Amino acid sequence: MNEVRLQIENLESFIDRSMEMAKRLDAGERTSGDSHISFETMEGLLKVLTPNRWVLLRTLRGRGPSSIRALARDLDRDYRGVHADVAMLVEAGLVERDRKGAVSVPWSRITAEMALDAAA
Domain presence at residue 24: yes
Q: With cut-offs at 50, 70 and 90, classify the pLDDT of residue 120.
A: very low
Q: What's the confidence (pLDDT) of residue 119? A: 45
* Residue 54, domain CATH: 1.10.10.10
Amino acid identity, position 6? L
Q: In angstroms, rounded to a whole number, what is the distance separating the alpha carbons of residues 48 and 32?
A: 26
What is the tens place of the pLDDT at every residue in 3-57? 898 988 877 777 777 788 778 778 887 766 678 888 888 888 999 999 999 999 9
Structural domains counted in the chain: 1
Question: What are the tens digits of pLDDT across the range 79-98?
Answer: 999 999 999 999 999 999 99
Would you say residue 119 lies in a domain? no
Report the chain's C-alpha Rg in angstroms.
16
Distance of CA 92 to the CA centre of its chain: 5
Q: Report the Cα–Cα distance between both ends of the chain, in Å, rounded.
A: 32
Domain of 64 in residue numbering reads as 3-114
